[in-house]
Structures are given as C-alpha cells and as structure tokens.
C-alpha cells in the first residue's frame, strides 16, 4: 500500500525557516517524481514544487522561487521541502504527492499544517 | 504560466441529478488534465486523468471530456457521497489547479 506521511509543520514566525519531510513507503520511491502542493485555509489547491525521480531537476511556482527548496533522499525514501524567508501568505496545509506517469498526482499524504505568524 | 479557469465556483444539486464542471486553459494543454475530489479535512483523491481515463476505483458515474483549451467533468446520478469540492489540474506544462467547485445538496 502506498503511504506518504508528512511531518515537520507547526507555528513559525515570519522571516524564519521550516523544513517539511515526507516519508514514503509501499512503492519504489526512486522511480517516481515527487511534488509538494499546498492549500491555504478555506482556499484551493496550489502546486508548489516538483523534483525528478533522481533529484536532478526541480521546478517551482514563481511565488516560492528562491525561498523554497525541494529535495529528496532516495536511500531514505524521503522527500523534503526547505522553506526559508517564510511569509504569512505561506500559511497552508502542505501535501506531499507522488507524480503518476506524467506529472499528475496519484497519491497524496494526509497533509501538514504550517502557520506563519508572529 | 498556464491559467485554469474553473466554473462554476459552487453547484447545488439534488440526488440523482447530473452536474457538469468546466475548466478552460489559457492555452492548449493537449488533454493533460486531471480531476480531483476533496472532502473536508482530507487529501484530494484523483478521479480522472488524461481528460477521460477513470482511475481504479472511480465510479462510472464520473466522466470527463474535452480537448485543446476546453474540458468538462460530469457526475451523472449524484449520490450523497459525491458532496465535496472538485478541482481540475493541468499537467501539460508544470502544474496549475483550477480554483475549485464546491458541490452541495439542494
């Protein structure tokens, strides 16, 4: 059974950093591109970033370029999102997702909440 | 960046109705559109990919169609378990979600 379990969320002050993790199991992690998707409270879904299966390529939405870094450790079957210079508008539930054959997302974690507030 | 215009923002339906949601892309997305269902407090669930391919476990009352810039998603014979929000996602060039449609019972 495919499982994606996020961790590392919580309350953080504006301008500070936070690192999210996503532990994957039930599939061959290093065969799949992976992504982060966020959802602000009561709002819609927004794609954040994607990383290729081997970590050689990364892609970001414009609003997080230069502030967020997606990475992975295939030996640990773990996906990461390093979030720096956090802003109040980054407050959201962050989901890790597996990319299917193309870059649609077929499996999702349960999500982790990040609140950016002083 | 590709923009996705999803409508309507909300829908009110009776059990057994047919409902349709549309998404228009700002450019041709070559049928690379997926549709998701999300219930409150839960992660999204992939229902349909590549315009009209039902994911395993997706009931046959769900369907999708379209080409070029214009796509639609329908639920025939709405059931109570279908009450949720629905999102389109383009994956032709990076990823963009539509703004979502909240389906409620009339």
Point out the residue among A59, A104, A110 whose CB comes nearest to the CB of B89: A104
The pLDDT of residue A50: 97
CA distance to partner chain B, nearest, from residue A33 (Å):
12
The pLDDT of residue A101: 75
Taking only the tens place, the pLDDT of each residue in B58-101 is 999 999 999 999 999 999 999 999 999 999 999 999 999 999 99
Contact criterion met (CB < 8 Å) for B34 and A105: yes
Point out the residue among A50, A62, A95 whose CB comes nearest to the CB of B43: A95
- Selection from B42, B39, B50 nearest residue B89 by Cα: B50
Contact criterion met (CB < 8 Å) for B100 and A59: no
Point out the residue among B91, B99, B100 whose CB comes nearest to the CB of A103: B91
User: Which chain A residues are closer than 8 Å to B38 by Cβ?
Assistant: 45
Between A and B, how many CB-CB pairs are < 8 A?
A: 56
pLDDT (tens, 9 = 90+) of chain A, 118 residues, equals 999 999 999 999 999 999 999 999 999 999 999 999 999 999 999 999 999 999 999 999 999 999 999 999 999 999 999 999 999 999 999 999 999 877 799 999 999 999 999 9
Q: In sequence order, what E strands does A2-103 have?
A: 3-7, 10-12, 18-25, 34-39, 45-51, 58-60, 68-73, 78-83, 92-99
User: Which chain A residues are closer than 8 Å to B55 by Cβ?
Assistant: 106
CA dihedral B24, B104, A90, A13 (to 10 degrees): 170
Are A70 and A51 within 8 A, CB to CB?
yes
Taking only the tens place, the pLDDT of each residue in B26-58 is 999 999 999 999 999 999 999 999 999 999 999
Calculate the alpha carbon distances from B59 to B33, B53, B77 in Å. Answer: 18, 12, 11
Taking only the tens place, the pLDDT of each residue in B10-20 is 999 999 999 99
Which residue of chain B is at minimal alpha-carbon distance from A5?
Answer: B43
Which residue of chain A is at minimal alpha-carbon distance from B50?
Answer: A104
Please tell me if residue A62 touches chain B, with a CB cutoff of 8 Å. Answer: yes
CA distance to partner chain B, nearest, from residue A16 (Å):
27
Please tell me if residue A41 touches chain B, with a CB cutoff of 8 Å. Answer: no
d(CA A61, CA A50): 9
User: Which chain B residues are closer than 8 Å to A105 by Cβ?
Assistant: 34, 44, 46, 89
């Amino acid at each position: 059974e495919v499982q994606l379990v996020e961790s590392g969320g919580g309350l953080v002050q504006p301008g500070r950093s936070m690192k999210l993790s996503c532990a994957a199991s039930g599939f061959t992690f290093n065969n799949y591109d992976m992504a982060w998707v966020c959802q602000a409270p009561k709002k819609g879904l927004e794609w954040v970033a994607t990383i290729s299966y081997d970590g050689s390529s990364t892609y970001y939405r414009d609003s997080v370029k230069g502030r967020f870094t997606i990475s992975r450790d295939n030996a640990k079957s773990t996906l990461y999102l390093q979030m720096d210079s956090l802003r109040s508008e980054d407050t959201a539930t962050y989901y890790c997702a597996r990319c299917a054959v193309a870059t649609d997302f077929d499996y999702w974690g349960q999500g982790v909440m990040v609140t950016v507030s002083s | 960046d590709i923009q996705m215009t999803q409508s309507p923002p909300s829908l009110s339906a009776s059990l057994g109705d047919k409902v349709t949601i549309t998404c228009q892309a700002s450019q041709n997305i070559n049928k690379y559109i997926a549709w998701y269902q999300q219930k409150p407090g839960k992660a999204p669930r992939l229902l349909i990919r590549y315009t009209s391919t039902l994911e395993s476990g997706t009931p046959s009352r769900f369907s999708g169609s379209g080409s070029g810039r214009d796509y639609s998603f329908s639920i025939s014979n709405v059931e109570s378990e279908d009450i949720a929000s629905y999102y389109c996602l383009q994956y032709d060039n990076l990823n963009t979600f539509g703004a979502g449609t909240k389906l409620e019972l009339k």
